[in-house]
């Protein structure tokens, strides 16, 4: 039996939804495990070195994966802005 071809817009929407579900599942693994607390210099150093996967670092420092990635992004952005000035 031949499969019916889907409209490219429908295929693209399904792909977006699938990616959204996968992303939510990945980040939800650690999002509720840890309470908020101030970042230490040692944690910041580990985040910026990026020598181990974020999932392992999350367990080690008690931060969610999303928090680690967002902190790294903000630090790199601040560093780039500092160099531009």
Backbone φ and ψ of 40, nearest 5°: -95, 160
What is the pLDDT of the chain when averaged over all its residues? 89
pTM comes to 0.70
> How far apart are alpha carbons 4 and 52 in whole angstroms?
44
30-52 per-position pLDDT tens digit: 777 888 899 999 999 999 999 99
């Amino acid at each position: 039996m031949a499969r019916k071809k889907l409209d490219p817009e429908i295929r693209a929407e399904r792909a977006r939804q699938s990616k959204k579900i996968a992303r939510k599942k990945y980040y939800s693994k650690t999002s509720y495990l840890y309470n908020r607390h101030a970042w230490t210099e040692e944690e910041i150093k580990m985040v910026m070195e990026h020598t181990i996967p974020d999932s392992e670092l999350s367990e080690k420092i008690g931060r969610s994966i999303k928090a680690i990635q967002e902190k790294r992004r903000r630090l790199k952005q601040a560093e780039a802005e500092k160099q531009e000035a």
